[in-house]
Amino acid sequence: MSVQKLTMTQAIVDYTEGFTFDKIPSDVLQEITRCLVDGFGVILSGVPAASSRIIQQYISESTTTGKSSVLGTSINTSSELAALANGVAGHAEDFDDTQLSTSPDRLYGLLTHPTTPVLAATLGVAQEIGASGKDFLTAMCAGFEVECKIAEAINPDHYVKGHHTTGTIGTFASVIAASKLWGLTSKEIRFAIGIAASKSAGIRANFGTMTKPYHAGAAAQNGIISAKLAKLGYEADPMALDGQWGYFQVKGGGSDSERLIGKLGNPYTIINPGVSVKPYPCGSLSHPSMDTLLDIILEQDIVPDEVAEVRLGAGHNILNPLRYQNPQNELEAKFSLQFCLGILIIRRRAGLQEFTDAVVQSEPVREMMKRIHTYHSPDIEAKGADKMRSSIEIRLKDGQTFQKEAFTSRGQPDRPMTKEELKGKFINCTQNTLSEEYMNKALEMIYQVQDLQNIGELVKLMVKN
């Protein structure tokens, strides 16, 4: 009698169905809370963005009503439309966290911005059903872990050939979270995953446009729709991730099932290798280069007029996505090494206030960007893409040269933000959306979310009344 091999779809279904709050280790709870502080903050930071305002208008012009809130606004709508808006806002400033790579062949950037899609989806459904803080955290953790393990398992060609994993694989985080909150059966979860596999989308051509944040919002929305349809009896292939026509093969050209089967929660990706909190509201691939350059500037007390040239050598994993050498607006600037390095030389900071169209078009910035030159480095490329490596060299007009190799930045597990630094980011993100009183109350309540009887208590602090 043959023993049927466990499929990846079934492994995810079994994990989701059996996952409960009391199975969440204390260190995972601590880290998921940190992700919530960062995640709620970046959602609120993105509410005023043009991409968010258009989605808000789209929702306002619909006839849909519901119990779920678009944070930072007075809009109440269905869980899926609220998830769309909150997901777009969470990625609008490109300030949300990043999953780390597990090995050199898994490109940093192949993996996801894990918190935004699952947080937007979990919040939408949890508010709709009046879920407790514990139920909210259970769904959030389950979706987060499944999302990260799918991102680790799929062939790297998924990203290399142009898929944006936050949009594609973020859909599975959302469908798992929604399925958990609605208490779907094993059969229903399988169908929900199958529906989600056909709704998973997002292409890298849209980096530097409004549609990149739309990927995160659509992932949250599509996951909820998939779970809702399955709950209503809609059917799909019950093993849609596996086989010749399954998701992994079609979207990635294959997978490494050993990275998923037996590995869900073993270890939790949020702990090992961990998740990186962004210090800057731009593409994460630039952050080690930015922090390294800033270190040189501060150590040597370099002022803009002294700089003759900056040279950055990196592999194609860095240079190809950060492709805007002459950015024309703040969205393109988020994927421009010329801007990201240039603005640090001029202002010694690169926060939300720096990433605006006006700053990008300002004469000092335009002039400084001409001094920033990038080149492909085979030596850096050969070291692998599990870290965001580059070589930074700054040459001054008096002939002095300073050089360092970059490979990490603030917010990464080997250089984590302190609780105070995370609070500072939350305040910076929410100061234009929340009053100081509500900002402080919301931050305090996020750290106590597991004690809430209804997640709506937290949401009340983050909407317009």
Angle of the 211-231 helix axis to the 50-60 helix axis, nearest 10: 40
- C-alpha span between 222 and 230 (Å, rounded): 12
Local structure of 111: helix, strand or coil: coil
Residues 6+ apart with CB under 8 A from 436: none
Q: 163: which DSSP letter?
A: B
- C-alpha span between 421 and 326 (Å, rounded): 32
What pLDDT was estimated at residue 274? 92
Give 3-state DSSP helix, strand, coil % of the chain, rounded to 5. Answer: 55, 10, 35
- Bridge partners of 406, per DSSP, are 390
Residues 189/143, Cβ–Cβ less than 8 Å: no
What pLDDT was estimated at residue 385? 78
Scan for tokens 């809609």, then name that residue: 234
Name the residue type at position 275.
V
- Which of 174, 166, 158 is CA-nearest to residue 250? 158
- Which of 280, 369, 288, 283 is CA-nearest to residue 325? 369
301: left (phi over 0), alpha (psi -120 to 50) or beta: left
From the centroid of its chain, how far is CA 165? 9
- Which of 458, 442, 453, 461 is CA-nearest to residue 132? 453
- Which of 20, 148, 29 is CA-nearest to residue 447? 29
What pLDDT was estimated at residue 107? 64
What pLDDT was estimated at residue 109? 46
What pLDDT was estimated at residue 108? 55
- C-alpha span between 226 and 175 (Å, rounded): 6
CB atoms within 10 A of CB 368: 21
Name the residue type at position 235.
E
From the centroid of its chain, how far is CA 420? 21
Q: 250: which DSSP letter?
A: H
Residues 6+ apart with CB under 8 A from 183: none
The per-residue pLDDT string of the chain (465 residues; one tens digit each, 9 = 90 and over) reads 334 589 999 999 999 999 999 999 999 999 999 999 999 999 999 999 999 999 999 999 998 899 999 999 999 999 999 999 999 999 999 999 999 887 777 665 457 999 999 999 999 999 999 999 999 999 999 999 999 999 999 999 999 899 999 999 999 999 999 999 999 999 999 999 999 999 999 999 999 899 999 999 999 999 999 999 999 999 999 999 999 999 999 999 999 999 999 999 999 999 999 999 999 999 889 999 999 999 999 999 999 999 999 999 999 989 998 999 999 999 999 999 999 999 999 999 999 999 999 999 999 999 999 999 999 999 999 988 778 899 999 999 999 999 999 999 999 988 999 999 999 999 999 999 999 999 999 999 999 999 999 999 999 999 986
Q: 272: which DSSP letter?
A: I
Indicate the pTM of the whole model: 0.93
- C-alpha span between 206 and 166 (Å, rounded): 12
> Going from the N-terminus, what domains does the chain have, and what CATH number goes with each?
8-279+423-462 (1.10.4100.10), 284-406 (3.30.1330.120)
Q: How many residues does this entry show for the chain?
A: 465
Name the residue type at position 272.
N
- C-alpha span between 186 and 179 (Å, rounded): 10
- C-alpha span between 443 and 447 (Å, rounded): 7
In SS3 terms, 178-209 reads as HHHHHCCCHHHHHHHHHHHHHHCCCEHHHCCC
Q: Are strands 307-314 and 372-376 parallel, antiparallel or unpaired?
A: parallel
What pLDDT was estimated at residue 64? 87
From the centroid of its chain, how far is CA 184? 26
Local structure of 264: helix, strand or coil: coil
End-to-end CA distance of the chain: 64
Q: Which residues of 387-422 are buried (b: 16+ CB within 10 A; e: fewer)?
A: bbbbbbbbbbeeeeebebebbbbbbbeeeebeeeeb
HSE (CB half, 13 Å, CA atoms) of 419? 7
- C-alpha span between 150 and 144 (Å, rounded): 10
